[in-house]
Amino acid sequence: MKKSLSLIIGILFSANAFALSCPSSKTPKDVAMDMIRAELGGIVLEENAESDCLDQKKFPHLLIQSDFSNDEATKVDAVVKHLEDVKIIKVELTSKETHSYKAIFEVKIKDEKTGIYATTTDKIRFFLYTDKENHKVFGCGGVTEHPSKVMVLKSCLPK
């Protein structure tokens, strides 16, 4: 209860305490990579809520809000050694009206169940804010659908 209350208060005041931006040079592919970086920081894992990997200062163009709403996302499915192991294959516009996109990416992972290294493909769905007021508060956009696997950078694994 205490942790939830402090998280809610933190979310309410974090946007005002740290002004975000979204440079016009930022492409949907750049925004997708920022969102994938947050995913690899463990944004869906409750135990990573205070992780240095999700420090807002490391994401000047994206508001970091931990999302524990997915009951399936309580454990790490795969570990990624390095951010360089992630490659965005393509970014597709899915709705012009809502500025929504789907980014398909490939990543080298170590499966936590089998211990085997492999390359997997996943996707993340997101939208872009188009006005400066939202850019100041929320950054460039927000995630509407997390990747299907909970993948975390080795350096960001929960302690």
pLDDT of 33 reads 97
Percent of the chain with pLDDT over 90: 69
pLDDT number for residue 14: 46
Q: What is the mean pLDDT of residues 82-96?
A: 97
Token code pair at residue 41: 């920081």
Overall average pLDDT of the 10-32 stretch: 76
Who has greater pLDDT, 71 or 114?
114
pLDDT in tens, 33-67: 999 999 999 999 988 888 899 999 999 999 998 87
pTM: 0.83
The reported pLDDT for the residue numbered 9 is 41
In the chain, which residue ranges form alpha helices assigned H by DSSP?
A: 2-17, 28-40, 132-138
pLDDT at 25 over 70: yes
Computed over every residue of the chain, the mean pLDDT equals 87
Cα separation of 84 and 80, whole Å?
9
Per-residue pLDDT, averaged over 128-145, amounts to 95
Angular region, 135: left φ>0, alpha ψ -120 to 50, beta rest: alpha
Structure confidence at residue 50 (pLDDT): 87
